[in-house]
A = this chain, B = another copy of it.
């Protein structure tokens, strides 16, 4: 069995794979995300290019070690009316982002890329989920921000945690909204890499 490498620091992505009982190891990629964000304004292109850069970075390092493995990376952003909302750097930014999401719907887009170390194949794609937020008051946003859930998360919230209180409904992939579109990845691995995640 080929090893699966998740090239991501996201605890949410790791948990998705763990709960699906998929064995994997984590290797962090080391790319200049800001560079891509400056030059690509299309949200779909951005997440795919970021995911691609992440897998290629890890692939290069493993190739030097001559270790074969399947590498998966992803990048998630929130898009609201054509604008990309990233992660908040501080509480003020978290407040501003959540205030925009309140009483509104946004699009949560995850780009993913999959490659193996030995071999030229690289497949990338994306999935998206529309998220409908309730009308939350400024006081509620401030109460939420105290929980620190906003830190390190696209759109400054975590649907799996306290922010579940604010979310009326979603439309689209369930696992994507947590950070990794498992259904699409399952299909790509079967079709393109001859790997069935149910057989691990």
Which of A14-22, A34-42, A74-82 interfaces with chain B?
A14-22
Q: Please tell me if the beta carbons of B168 and A183 are within 8 angstroms of each other in the complex.
A: yes
- Chain B residue nearest to A16 (CB atoms) is B164
Where chain A touches its partner, the secondary structure class is helix
A169 to B169, CA, bound (A): 12
A165 at the interface (CB under 8 A from B): yes
Once the chains bind, are A160 and B19 in contact (CB under 8 Å)?
yes
The answer to whether A26 has its CB under 8 Å from any CB of chain B is no
- Chain B positions within 8 Å of A162 at CB level: 19-21, 198
- CB-nearest residue of chain B to A128: B169
Q: List residues 152-200 of chain A with CB under 8 A from any CB of chain B.
A: 159-162, 164-175, 177, 182-183, 186-187, 197-199
A162 to B165, CA, bound (A): 25
Further pairs besides A19-B164, A164-B175, A170-B172: 13, Cβ < 8 Å: A19-B160, A20-B161, A20-B162, A20-B164, A21-B161, A140-B198, A143-B199, A165-B198, A166-B186, A167-B173, A167-B174, A174-B174, A174-B177
